[in-house]
Amino acid sequence: MRKQIINENFKETKLKYFLEFNPYSKKALDMAVDLNKLYEKRKNLLDQNQWFKKRNLEDLLSDYNSLAEKKEGINEHINSLSNLLTNRKSRFQEIKKQIKSKLNPLILISKNQKKLRREKIIVETKITIINLDIAKQKKLQQTNNKELENAQEIISRFKNINLKRNLEVIESLGFQINQLENDLSSLNEKKNKVESKIKPFIEELEKSEKLLSNAKNDLIKATDFKDKLNNSNSYERKIIHNACRNEFADDQPGRVINKNRNLIQKLERDILKLKNRLVSISEKYSKNIESLIIDGNNLSYQNNEFVGIEPLISLTKNINNKYNITVVFDSDIRSILKIDDYGINSRFSKDVKIHIVATNQKADETILDLASNNQSIYVISNDRYIDYLDKEVVTNERFIRHEIIDNRILIHDLDINIEWN
């Protein structure tokens, strides 16, 4: 049982870490909740329409009128019984007054007294029957009142349903559901991708935290053994050493303490590294990137040597179906490549925007301005832009770094590792 509880706790821990370190988990969960609400709303309206179509107002009013007539009949019957009960009780009291005491033997012989006593029993029985009948009618009255109330609610509900409006809302909900289903599907793809990246780290984190918990418990037990040794005689110490050996395969509590202290320090360092790595992955995938502004000149060098625009061509071909891409060049790219603007543009896909700044101008400010004031636009460049600290994109650090080495382009934030020729 204890093992099962521990396993359940670690399952909860895993879920907690996926929610904490996967930037899409909470969004997907919230979106799924919203989608279920829309499903429920649509279902309720569809059920409401089905209920409406099976009924008509004339029948509902007829049912209500029948119940109302029944109510009148019950009320009249109760009033009649109540009047009869009053009369019977009045007669019962009259009889009681006429009946003489049984203590006088002569009275028992009186025919009149015998008759009165018989009548008393009959009237008393009738009173009981009338009371039972009234109780029965009152139960029928309660049931009838509830049925009338329910019938009135049904009529009100029927009158309040606007079938045409419901159909319009159902249609609107259908569009919302389709949109949200598509959004959730897209979001789940991102979530699953991140999950596959962080899963090994979370599993290692769980393992390390479990080992840390065990090490801390062992440290407490070993410390307890050591404290007991300090307050015991030789016979007791022997027992304590044996107990320590049985627990830890080592009869010296001091060694066990040192071993677990070192292990705790190591595990705490490992856990910190794992969490930092998970934060790094989370930050990487939490970027909402729709458009990329590429520093063209910056991506034309390998080891400080100009290698042409082939790396850019390979890169843009790889990512132009995922992002809106604009490549910005310094004006000197024309003289470096010895081709004109048309020649440069023709080397890239038509989906890629190419911009070459005016003669004798650098591309830096143009790149930063194109990316400013839009949180979904990032700049691919290794430039630090220290001359433009006032630019919004610099302030918010919306930069993606790259590496070009051994004829490969590496952009870790975009999971890019491709060759160029």
Q: Is 166 contained in some domain? A: no
- Residues 180 and 40 reside in one and the same domain: yes
The more confident residue out of 326 and 373 is 326
Q: Contact at 8 Å (CB) between 298 and 307?
A: no
CA pair distance 280, 217, nearest whole angstrom: 31
Are 298 and 345 in the same domain? Answer: yes
Does residue 167 lie within any of the structural domains? Answer: no
Residues 182 and 277 occupy one common structural domain: yes
Same domain flag for 188 and 239: yes
302 and 408 part of one domain: yes
If asked whether residues 104 and 79 sit together in one domain, one would say yes
Its sign, for the CA torsion 218, 224, 228, 229, is: positive
Indicate the number of domains in the chain: 3
H or E segment at 292?
Answer: strand 291-295
Provide the pLDDT for residue 103: 61
> pLDDT by residue (tens digit) across 308-334?
999 999 999 999 999 999 999 999 999
Q: Which of 324, 396, 393, 325 is nearest to 364 (CA)?
A: 393
Within-domain flag for 109 = yes
Same domain, 120 and 216: no
Sheet holding 324-329, edge to edge: 353-356, 324-329, 291-295, 377-380, 399-400
pLDDT at 148 over 70: yes
Q: Where are the alpha helices (DSSP H) in 163-231?
A: 163-229
Please check whether residues 330 and 275 belong to one and the same domain.
no
Q: Identify whether the C-beta of residue 10 lies closer than 8 Å to the C-beta of residue 210.
A: yes
End-of-domain residue from the set 285, 309, 341: 285
Q: Which residues pair with 411 in a beta bridge?
A: 416
Percent of the chain with pLDDT over 70: 95
- 389 contacts 350 by C-beta, under 8 angstroms: no
DSSP 300: G
Q: Which amino acid is at 185?
A: S
SS3 404: strand
In a domain, 101, yes or no: yes
| Domain membership of residue 226 as a residue range | 2-47+172-285
Which one, of 362, 363, 333, 366, lies nearest residue 348 by Cα?
333
User: Which of 58, 60, 48 has its CA nearest to residue 164?
Assistant: 48
Q: Which of the listed residues 250, 269, 285 is the one where a domain comes to its end?
A: 285
The answer to whether 325 touches 291, Cβ cutoff 8 Å, is: yes
CB atoms inside a 10 Å sphere around CB 326: 19
| Residue 168 reports pLDDT greater than 90 | yes
Q: What pLDDT digit, counting tens, does each position of 177-220 carry? A: 999 999 999 999 989 989 999 999 999 999 999 999 999 999 99
Indicate whether 315 and 386 sit together in one domain.
yes
Please identify, among 285, 301, 331, the residue that sits at the C-terminal boundary of a domain.
Answer: 285
Tell me how far apart the terminal alpha carbons of the chain are, to the nearest angstrom.
62
On whether both 316 and 411 belong to a single domain, the answer is yes
Q: Are residues 297 and 415 in the same domain?
A: yes
